[in-house]
Chain A
Amino acid sequence: MFTTGSKMFLGATTLSVVAAVVFAASTGGATGLLGTVGLVTVAIVFAFLAGINFFTRDGNTPSMQQGVEHTSSAAQPPVGRSMWPIFAAVGVGGLVVGAVSRPVVFKVSIVVLLAAVVEWMVQGWSERASSDDRFNAGLRGRMMHSLEFPILASIGAGAVVYAFSRVLLTADPGAGLWIFIAVGALIVTGGFIFASAPKSSKRTMAVILTASAVVLMGVGVASALSGQRTIHPHPTIDDPSQKALCLEGGEEEVDEHASQDVSLKSNIVADVYLQENGELVARVRGYANDFSQQIVIPRSAHLGVIFHNESAESHRLTGRFGSFPEQPEAVSCTTAVHPGKSAYLGFQISKTNAASSTPFEFIVPGVEGATIQIVVP
């Protein structure tokens, strides 16, 4: 497959790369940098020469061989039309545009250019590998399909997922749920139809799948252009205004469109309930049915509680995790949770109660007496 000349230059390329790595690792300073750049340049030149030899199959034609004028690679007709020069031109153009605009354009253009050069080179080589076109096509497939199929499949899957994620990020959370169900149902139904009618023509399937992909990509692009819905940042103790929000309540919400349903969490130490009568109680994990107004937790462990709002109004749960010398009081809170909904609050307390000048507790701002004591022994 590889000609003698290209093998030699490939070996020289590998040797240069190894030399560059060894030199870079063993020699520091300006000398090291200069020498490494020189060796990398040599490696690039050798790689280019290897490519040329590979493309021209060394240009060798044994003079004494019978019929060589018909069978040698050099005697084959020139390579036919190719789309790769166009891609290469797009890549070069992208490099120029990327150099003066955004780095990501430059990087993508490098990938496009490299792909175009490799494909062009292999096409040229394979189409002159022998006088048998089918053999040449098979040779190219054996060499390139193992690369092309996984890469194209990854790009396709990535594009679908990315487009679909743009749609879900743009849509209202409630609508997103239905979109997800609808698309899932469509895929299952389509799969069922194809499976139950195995004689459907490949063309029909290709048309349906292509149309679906185009629609999805189109909606995804439109969604990306319109921008995602507003998602407010979660309040943190680093932001004084957010801390005030935690302690005083108020109408602002982290994400008023959020579902306010908590999925499975693995570090829940207790479920905290704000009951209809305004009482705050905790069902501590491990005690089957007892409600408590005290939670004992180990220090320095990442834990969490789930706040269930059973009252008639929206409320947030605020954790007050102590005041220590030369530090502001540690406070964190959930979003304002709608009646009948829930939210998760994670925390880590590194010091014991005795070290704090204020109590560790969960409170509900605006609800008098709604307090649960946190004990960190």
Chain B
Amino acid sequence: MTALSPSRRRRLAGVTVLAGIVFAGCAKNAPQDTFKPEGPNARTIDDLQRPLFYVAGLVGLIVFAVIAYVLVRFKDRGQEMPQQTHGKTWLEVLLTVIPAVILVGVSIPTVAAIFELDDQSNECVINVTGQQWWWEYDYTGKCGDVEITKPIVTSSELVIPVGTPVLLRITSRDVIHSYWIPALNGKRDAMPGSLRTLRMEADEAGIYVGQCTEFCGLSHARMRQAAVALDMDDFQTWVDNQLEAYTDNAPEPGSLAASGEATFINQCSRCHQINDLLATDGTPVLAEPDLYVVSGAAPNLTNLMTRTAIAGWTFDLLTEECREQLWDAPPAEFGDLYLQGVWMNSAADARKPICFDEATLRDWLRDPAAMKPMFVDPNNLSSTGGRTRGMPNLNLTEDQIDQLIAYLLERN
């Protein structure tokens, strides 16, 4: 193979860098783009970071241009060493004053933005608790115009009303995590023994994606989250659905779903709670994840099928087509589609939801750790007193998986 000449090598390197820059801007789906604010808080940050980015870019360009000029102009061509001088007072003063003026100029809008982001006129407060490797949300009371009479606990998918300032009270049960939904606000660390706040507000209905941004162990990359913004009417519907009494849609005795309920009680309810679930003797079925999981919590699965993804918002409950349909829906149609969830596009009397990605849920129930790295090896739990970090393999049979899926679908 013939070696490239130096000039061709330089040209090739330049084209490669240019192509990299161009192609980096071609991402079709970039839901975590920090330059696409979708709410007032993110917009405040964007209004600050854009001019700073331009100023910093200009300064960078000037610096690189000067360096390039010096490199070329004063390249060693065998000329005599020029006379050496020690400093130039006026230049040193100038090079101190200019950055100082720039920093003062930057600090004024920065401080103003900090105060603006700290506005405490919230209409909704939600507890957000991180653990390896998912987020839990507890709704604490009134949210906008909607009265939440009983606490709602959900996971991975934060549902908020559009145009309502929502305050997240963020903490962690195990290690440090960081909550970030770029379209709605900056990031906030979630630390054990600390309660920190972050404001969220969305301009219009839609789904806004985020990611844990503090390395938190094996599946940090698979600890994702989403904020779903619904119009106030749709939010009311969502709340009503979450608070619906269990008996209103309890499985019919003898059905596959009823067998699923028994399987759930036997296998899953040690860690996962379904609110108001009763055992055969009429006593409440109460999860005790504090006995089995290091963090002391596992996702509450009441109304699991109203969510669009599971396992730290990593695996879809919707098929790819339906997912795209939901994500691309205009704000006016989004709420309706979201509330239909896996039953989207299905006839009213359909027994099977068209949009349900059953294969993914099946794979998850067969062996969760095979899909998402977790600390669940039973031979390696001595350091945690037998407690896992994540969901272990329950060795469910295919029949049990059929039953559980039927049960969870009916619990929608």
Which residues of A are interface residues toward B (Cβ below 8 A)? 266-269, 284-288, 292, 294, 296-303, 350-352, 354-355, 375, 377
Contacts and interface: CB of A to CB of B under 8 A. Distances in A.
Interface of A is mostly: loop
B167 A286 contact: yes
Contact of A377 (B153, B167, B172): B153
A288 to B, nearest CB: 5
B290 A351 contact: yes
B284 A354 contact: yes
A286 B290 contact: no
A299 B153 CA distance: 11
Contact of B125 (A287, A302, A351, A375): A287
Nearest to B291: A350
B164 to A, nearest CB: 13
A301 B173 contact: yes
B152 A269 contact: no
Interface in B127-142: 127, 129, 136, 138-141
B346 to A, nearest CB: 31
B143 to A, nearest CB: 12
Contacts of B193: 266-267, 302
A296 B127 contact: yes
B127 A300 contact: no
Contact of B290 (A294, A300, A354): A300
Contacts of B353: none
A302 B192 contact: yes
A357 to B, nearest CB: 12
Q: How large is the interface on B (under 10, 10 to 19, 20 to 34, 35 or more residues)?
A: 35 or more
Contacts of B191: 266
A280 B284 CA distance: 32
B286 A301 contact: no
Nearest to B287: A352
B292 to A, nearest CB: 12
Contact of A287 (B122, B151, B286, B295): B122
Contacts of A286: 120, 122, 125, 140, 167, 169, 197
A284 B173 contact: no
A296 B296 contact: no
Nearest to B195: A267
B169 A266 contact: no
B269 interface: no
B195 A377 contact: no
B194 A267 contact: yes
B295 A300 contact: yes
B297 to A, nearest CB: 5
Contacts of B139: 296
A287 B165 CA distance: 11
B120 A298 contact: no
A354 B286 CA distance: 7
B288 interface: yes
A267 B151 CA distance: 21
Nearest to B288: A351
